[in-house]
Amino acid sequence: MNSSLVSSIVFFCILVVSVRSDVLSDSCGEAAKHDPNIKFDFYVSTLEGNPKAKSATGVADLVKVAIETAISNSNNIGSLITKLLSDKGLEPYVRSCLQDCSELYSDAGSNLGKGEQAFEGKDYRTANSVISAAMDSAKTCEDQFKEKEGVVSPLTNENNSFYQLNAISLAFINIVQK
């Protein structure tokens, strides 16, 4: 192979990687422009580590990545809740909240799966609806801990991350359907 062909191939590969990373950054920036609650740095750093995000060629690809990441996150939170519930010394009120959260996150995972299917079928209204319902799970879970004075949620960080992941899914869907 001659050196100009090798140089051209290397340049092309660098260009492709650069364009693909711009899709992520540009899409997150566009989403953040339209919603003040969107945390640009969180989205880029969360999705950047996913190989599918790196190979995304458009916002539609990023919707799928965001939903898949949220589903995985929901499952991880469910596992964490199971671990927390195994503590025999857990205060009854906290145990009850965690049991409710477990059910909420189970439902959230199911809703996200439905949202992914709806998005793939270009049924954006349904996708928005069920992903919004999943997103509400995080807020509902967090809020119930606040109902009793002095109780601190052991899931605050997880609930916030899950909420943000779903917010970016919704923002990306809104960009796609424009």
Asked if residues 137 and 160 have their Cβ atoms less than 8 Å apart, the reply is no
Q: pLDDT tens digit string along 97-134? A: 999 999 999 999 999 999 999 999 999 999 999 999 99
Two tokens at 20? 């693909």
Q: What is the mean pLDDT of residues 2-29?
A: 48
One-letter identity of residue 26: D
Asked if residues 26 and 40 have their Cβ atoms less than 8 Å apart, the reply is no
- Kindly provide the b/e burial profile for residues 144-173, where b requires at least 16 CB atoms within 10 angstroms of the residue's own CB: bbeeeeeeebbbeebbebbbbbbbbbbbbb
